[in-house]
Amino acid sequence: MKNFTRINNQIRAAELRVVDEEGNNLGVLPFSKAIEIAHERELDLIEVSPNAQPPVARIMSYGKYQYLEQKKQKQAKGHTTETKSLQIKIGTGEHDLALKAKKVSAFLKEGHRVKIDLFLPGRTKYFDFNFLKERLQRILNLITEEYKLANPPQKSPKGLTVIVERTKSKKQDPTEGTDRAA
């Protein structure tokens, strides 16, 4: 069940602690006086803390109150991290790799993890593993954001897969297994 916010004549308390639109405490007032002040200022009387003794009400625009509450809820949820996917082929040209690396960099900048698949059709699945890692390294070298490998390049049903995530310190070279400066 959603929380129901009482406004204006929906408020049932006889006395309210009233706060105006600037945040000034007007003190404990009878309901009739509080609603009168709100109407004079052409604003709403909103019950913000119904369980307090006496209940706390704020004089402000109800639309603005709803906007601020939604903003608070979004901030409380925080940013969720997604794993974005990107697919390249063994023969992808340098220009296309640069465009895809730019997209990976944008995803990393937003705080997402990125799964990069080197798609290997047909016989290419049986190429030398070091050669395939070198082909995957071409895109990793073009990424401008600093990143680390969540796990090293691994064979997958599509071909070769690596997952990169944002870091503050260094980029990692999957062929060496050591950190290198960005």
What are the 10-residue block averages of pLDDT along the chain, 182 residues in total?
73 86 85 87 86 87 86 75 85 88 90 89 85 87 88 85 78 46 40
Q: What does the DSSP 8-state code read for residue 87?
A: E
**Which domain covers residue 34, as residue numbers?**
8-77
* Total count of residues recorded for the chain: 182
Please report the pLDDT score of residue 135 as a whole number. 86
Please report the pLDDT score of residue 180 as a whole number. 42
One domain, residues 113 and 158: yes
* Structural domains counted in the chain: 2
Q: Which of 43, 62, 77 is the last residue of a domain?
A: 77
One domain, residues 28 and 106: no
